[in-house]
Amino acid sequence: MIAVLGVGPGLGLSIAQRFAREGFTTALVSRTDTRHARYRESLPEGTAHTYTADLTDPAQLDAVLDRITAEAGEIDTVYFGPAVAVNLKPLPESGAGDLLAPFEAAVLPAARLVEAVLPGMLERGSGTLLFAGGLSGKHPMPVLGSLAPASAALRMYVLTLDAALRETGVHAGILTVGGLIERGDIHRDFTTRDLGFTVGTLNPDDIADQAWSMYVERGEAEAEFNAMAAV
């Protein structure tokens, strides 16, 4: 069973669909239930469970994980990829609070998720922890300045976690994404406004295929997807 935390119409749903094709039960978590019926309709009948939770709230995160385990079964695999809704600023214009917000939105919830599910995986001797990250955590991208420190922290957290889990049967990996993911909310926002610059697009199904390969092969801890011409 795979729990998809932070599911949206782009990458999160593609991840769920890719694993569902391999026979996985899916548990989809988002902040609201507005799209849940559509998500369930896109997955094999009777295999998808949907939940609402604010993943930045520790109590809600713990509660939804407990519900998933009770209703859908032990969590074999988790994918963590919530949208980070923060006010992006170039670093010269950023204060400490601007840097803290992305940590609270992504890095700390990711660590809390691992804290909750890793003990069971270690006890069973198997499990996969997948995360979506941003290219600004690997390559300098001034327009995403205030997001970059948190992106870098999440990336190194996952890579170091995977190194620490060698020989345990548990694997961690990060999908480092640079570009707009088609069908996603951010892609829609960018394509309906004139921002004065363009960003390349990525097919979420291609990224989901790579996530499945990481699950099966359990070798590499990072896969990079770069549609940014200048990087």
pLDDT value, residue 157: 98
Please name the amino acid found at residue 154: L
Element (H, E) at 97: helix 96-102
pLDDT value, residue 141: 85
Spatial CB neighbours of 142, under 8 Å, sequence gap ≥ 6 = 90, 91
Stretch 117-131: mean pLDDT? 98
pTM summary value: 0.91
pLDDT value, residue 133: 95
Alpha-carbon distance values, 191 to 110, 132, 141, 182, 221 (Å): 29, 22, 20, 10, 31
Contact in structure between 18 and 205 (CB atoms under 8 Å): yes
Rg (CA), the chain: 17
**49 — phi, psi (to 5°)?**
-115, 140
Architecture of the domain defined by 2-226: 3-Layer(aba) Sandwich (3.40)
Stretch 133-146: mean pLDDT? 89
Its sign, for the CA torsion 80, 109, 171, 124, is negative
Q: Is 128 helix (H, G, I), strand (E, B) or coil?
A: strand
**Which residue ranges make up each domain of the chain?**
2-226
Spatial CB neighbours of 168, under 8 Å, sequence gap ≥ 6 = 122, 125
The DSSP letter of residue 46 is T
In the predicted structure, residue 88 carries a pLDDT above the cut 80: yes
Confidence band for 44, pLDDT divided at 50, 70 and 90:
very high
- As a whole number of angstroms, the distance between CA 68 and CA 182 comes to 28
pLDDT value, residue 120: 97
In the predicted structure, residue 97 carries a pLDDT above the cut 70: yes
* Lowest mean pLDDT, pick from 74-78, 99-103, 157-161, 182-186: 182-186
pLDDT value, residue 85: 66
pLDDT in tens, 47-70: 999 999 999 999 999 999 999 999
Q: What percent of the chain has pLDDT over 90?
A: 77
pLDDT in tens, 155-209: 999 999 999 999 999 999 999 998 777 755 554 555 555 555 566 788 999 999 9
Contact in structure between 229 and 143 (CB atoms under 8 Å): no
Confidence band for 227, pLDDT divided at 50, 70 and 90:
confident
User: Which of 231, 56, 54 is closest to 141 using CA atoms?
Assistant: 231
* Mean pLDDT, the chain, integer: 91
pLDDT value, residue 143: 83
pLDDT value, residue 142: 86
pLDDT value, residue 187: 46
Helix axes 148-164 and 108-124, enclosed angle (nearest 10): 10
Pair of tokens at residue 195: 């921002």
In the predicted structure, residue 230 carries a pLDDT above the cut 60: no
